[in-house]
Amino acid sequence: MKKSNIIAVGALTAAFAAISAWSAMTSAEPLKGWLQLPKWGVSVTGIVFLLMLFIPNIIWSKNQPTGYEESAKHENKLLLGLERTGEVLVSVFVLIDRRLDRFAVSPRLGYLILALILMIMYELYWIKYFRSSRTLGDMYSDYCGFPLAGASLPVFAVFLLGVYARSVFLTAASLILGIGHIGIHLMHKKEIEK
């Protein structure tokens, strides 16, 4: 792992730990809400995050890197299954949980802000990709120190959304997505490096 990767992931971890500690110290019941069902309804925050995910991916589908189709044929079926399952679960839970739309000023708001920053970085990663020569190397590149930015940034952001909403369902879905999505990207990157 490169030094820039360690710094970026370390900074994200430190920010997460600081927000968690601050939130736990200021909350009378830090675990309250984690095992509750979602507050049913359409989440505006969820819609915004899904648009930030889907729009670049729709554009990408028309600008795939050379050799991607062949590379995709060799994807691990278990990882692909986890990725698809995670995509569906994340999409559903992000859309139906109105707890994502609570914007009370508290330390917990830091999770949402951090998730938004990661999604903005994700959008910037895509801009960098679309301006590049669009090779597989460009697709699986790092961005601002985050390894496999096209996979890791949105997964980290959705995980933070789950923590923000105190949704065990969304948090678990983000982990399932992360194992599949980041795992597939890691396999592709290793193929390129051979």
> Each residue of 97-127: pLDDT tens digit?
888 888 778 778 888 999 999 999 999 999 9
Residue 32 is predicted with a pLDDT of 65
User: Are residues 90 and 177 in contact, defined by beta-carbon separation less than 8 angstroms?
Assistant: yes
Tell whether the model's pLDDT for residue 31 goes beyond 80: no
Tell whether the model's pLDDT for residue 87 goes beyond 90: yes
- Mean per-residue pLDDT of the chain: 87
Alpha helices in 99-148 (DSSP H): 109-131, 136-139
Mean pLDDT of all residues in 160-166: 90
Tell whether the model's pLDDT for residue 33 goes beyond 80: no
Q: What is the DSSP letter of 36?
A: S
Residue 25 is predicted with a pLDDT of 63
Enter the pTM of the model. Answer: 0.87
Residues paired with residue 143 on neighbouring β-strands, in sequence order: 146
Mean pLDDT of all residues in 147-155: 93
Tell whether the model's pLDDT for residue 20 goes beyond 90: no
User: Are residues 143 and 128 in contact, defined by beta-carbon separation less than 8 angstroms?
Assistant: yes
CA distance linking residue 69 with residue 72, whole number of Å:
5
